[in-house]
Structures are given as structure tokens and as C-alpha cells.
Amino acid sequence: MVISGLVFQCDPTRIEAIAAELAAVPELSDVTPGGEPGYLAAVLEAPSTEASVQTLHRLRSIPGVYAVMPTYIHAVEEDGKCSSPAVLS
């Protein structure tokens, strides 16, 4: 399982429509407004790194989404070991 914190930079004129579309993505939870106009934050949960990357590509293709930036990534391996491959601030 891979859990990632994401920040979305979006077209501010479409922020409500984009938030609704993101809320419908099953891998995403806690879609919330960012601190500034045009930004949203969400949590991505995917079964693997590959699934996480595929979902990120899909999210980037949503009209009005300019960028999707992972801010935190935490992975739990199949053997139960935990790792945090990237923490960005």
C-alpha cells in the first residue's frame, strides 16, 4: 500500500468542478481546499507504486489541473515493512 499526500494546482475558475471530480476518484480521500486560490489537497491510497503512478497520470489529465505534487509518500511493503521513499517540503 502506498499513501501519498498530494497538492493540486488548478485553474481557480474551475476549482469547484475539479474538486467534485477529484472527490469521485475512489483512490482519493480528504479532498480539501488549499490555503490559496487554485489549490486543493488530497490523500491518495494505492495498492502499489505502479498503481499510484497510474493514478497520478490520470489526475494530471483532468481539465484545469495544472500540476499534481506529492508532498509525502509512505509505502508499506508486502512483508509489512514500512518505508517513506520521499518526503518533500
Q: What is the pTM of this model?
A: 0.83
CA–CA gap between residue 46 and residue 4 (Å, rounded):
9
Architecture of domain 2-87: 2-Layer Sandwich (3.30)
Distances (CA, A) of 83 to 55, 73, 77: 20, 9, 8
pLDDT in tens, 15-48: 999 999 999 999 999 999 988 999 999 999 999 9
| Residue 55: Cβ within 10 Å count | 21
CA angle (89 as vertex; 49, 42 as ends), nearest 5: 55
- pLDDT score at 83: 55
Q: For strands 39-46 and 2-10, give the pairing.
A: antiparallel
